[in-house]
Amino acid sequence: MRDKNSWLVFLVVVILCCCANVAAQVRIELEPKQGTNEKKSYALRRQIPEATLPCTPEVKTWWDALRDAGDAVRQSRGSDGDRKKFAALLEEGAAKSFKPPVEDRKPLFLVQVEPRFTEDGRRHRINGTIRLRVEFRADGTVGEVTPKNSLGHGLDEAAVEAARKAVFLPAIENGEFVSFTTQMEMSFHVY
């Protein structure tokens, strides 16, 4: 009987060692605009704001549809259908030369994807942070993603892939969507 219990304990320990807990985090460095209220709830800060600048009824209808699509993206955590609808509305606005009816602002991130830990990274128990320079384009796509350091073991590529999956409302400057480049950090930890 003791041999069966020893074998079972050994098997559990092996399984736990093979399945080490891993975690990944994303941090994007955007400096807050002067005069912003830091006490706004996280959810409100991630919502596309209502139109506050004068605009035509057609632009208002488009903006309201974009806001609704943004909420759907956030709630579904970026399902393919919601991403496509949001992207189509950004594209429609560009095709019709619509201007965002809100004040200037930095990009608004609706979904940030955590990087996937690779098997090689897990096996080697790699811990650390990868800093990326990421271009968030005016059309709502992610442009150039450049790692500033490396962890190896496929984690750099996983971080780049995760950065490319971000869904965001582009930065707004002088009533136009503009590209914005910033630093993003992806952390990997084995516990």
Total domains, the chain: 1
Provide CB contacts within 8 A for 49, sequence distance 6+: 67, 102, 105
Parent domain of 92 = 22-37+47-190
**Does residue 42 belong to any structural domain of this protein?**
no
**Does residue 17 belong to any structural domain of this protein?**
no
Tell me the pLDDT tens digit for each residue of 115-172: 988 999 889 898 999 999 999 999 999 999 999 999 999 999 999 999 999 999 999 9
**Does residue 135 belong to any structural domain of this protein?**
yes
Residue 143 near residue 108 (C-beta atoms within 8 A): no
**Does residue 129 belong to any structural domain of this protein?**
yes
pLDDT at 28 over 70: no
Please indicate whether residue 12 or residue 181 has the higher confidence score (pLDDT).
181
**Does residue 99 belong to any structural domain of this protein?**
yes
The 128-136 sheet, strands edge to edge: 22-28, 180-190, 128-136, 142-147
- What CATH number did the domain enclosing 177 receive? 3.30.2420.10
pLDDT at 27 over 80: no
Nearest to 187 by CA among 29, 16, 19, 22: 22
**pTM of the entire predicted model:** 0.75
**Does residue 170 belong to any structural domain of this protein?**
yes
**Does residue 80 belong to any structural domain of this protein?**
yes
Residue identified by tokens 């991630």 is: 46
